[in-house]
Amino acid sequence: MNILARLVVLVLLLVPVIPLSVQADDDLAAVRKRLEQRFTDLTISDLRAAPIPGLYELTFGSRIVLVTGDGRYLIQGDLIDLESRRNLTQEQHSKLILKSIEAIGEKNMVVIGPANAKRTITVFTDVDCPYCARLHQEVPKLNKAGVKVRYLLYPRAGKGSETYKKSVSVWCAKDRIKALGAAKSGGKIEPRTCANPVDEHLKLGAEVGVEGTPTLVFDDGRIVPGFAPADKLLAALGLANGEKTAAPQ
């Protein structure tokens, strides 16, 4: 059974068990209170009514689920509008990811590319990841086509690992771009420590759902896991063959 069929079945099963009083009388404040009582260890980032009567879109971090107004039932999956063929959950998820990335700010990223870039790619990168190194070799082509690349340091081995320490050293180097290139090519970089955003990058990656590196996030919210050559990335961004596509507003 495909995802659309599963979603329809779930909705048909759930709707009859939602009390009419809940559908008619619940407001967001009351629903939020019930959910906070049920999910005591969860910080609710956002709550809004879903397009389906009696269901609510619950956001925590960068994750989105659907819940009934009484807080009893939860649906984990994508909500798709069959008329417009739009994945409503994915659209909202993309907005949340972009908001979280922009909250970190470029001052806390390793940025390579023109200030007046046509498009922007944000990359979760591990300095010891072979495919990340291959992607880094494609950056000059991306820059030449008007794409700015913003790196978030994401040591997959976690905090305290050698890769983590190397990531911190890259950030603390006098020339971060040069140090990043050296680290990715297997060169030696001087061990350094300083105030750094690596923990923040790790936290964001966990919220986004990064499972491997590199993980790319386009400026329209699309997530591209794994390596892809510059030509394919440019085509995906609408910049193939010299096209000049502006970043989405």
* Percent above pLDDT 90 for the chain: 55
For the record, the structure tokens of 25 come out as: 């009388």
- Taking residues 169-193, what's their average pLDDT? 96
CA distance 249 to 246: 9
> 124-140 pLDDT, tens per residue?
999 999 999 999 999 99
- Look at residue 29 and tell me whether its pLDDT is greater than 90: no
pLDDT 10s digits, 53-84: 889 988 887 788 898 888 888 888 888 989 89
pLDDT at residue 176 is higher than 60: yes
pLDDT over 70 at 157, yes or no:
yes
| Average of per-residue pLDDT across 164-182 | 98
**Residue 45 binned pLDDT confidence (cut-offs 50, 70, 90):** confident
pLDDT of residue 26: 55
Mean of all residue pLDDT scores within the chain: 86
Cβ atoms of residues 205 and 233 within 8 Å: no
Gap between the Cα atoms of 240 and 224, Å rounded: 17
| CA–CA gap between residue 30 and residue 188 (Å, rounded) | 57
Residue 9 has pLDDT above 60, yes or no: no
C-alpha pair distances (Å), 113 with each of 109, 147, 207, 240? 12, 7, 26, 18
pLDDT of residue 34: 87
pLDDT in tens, 84-107: 999 888 888 888 889 999 999 999
DSSP state of 247: P
Least confident of 2-16, 58-72, 151-165: 2-16
Tell me the domains of the chain and their CATH numbers.
28-99 (3.10.450.70), 105-237 (3.40.30.10)
- Residues paired with 150 in a beta bridge: 111, 122
Tell me phi and psi for residue 151, to 5 degrees: -95, 135
**Residues assigned a catalytic role:** 126, 129, 132, 156
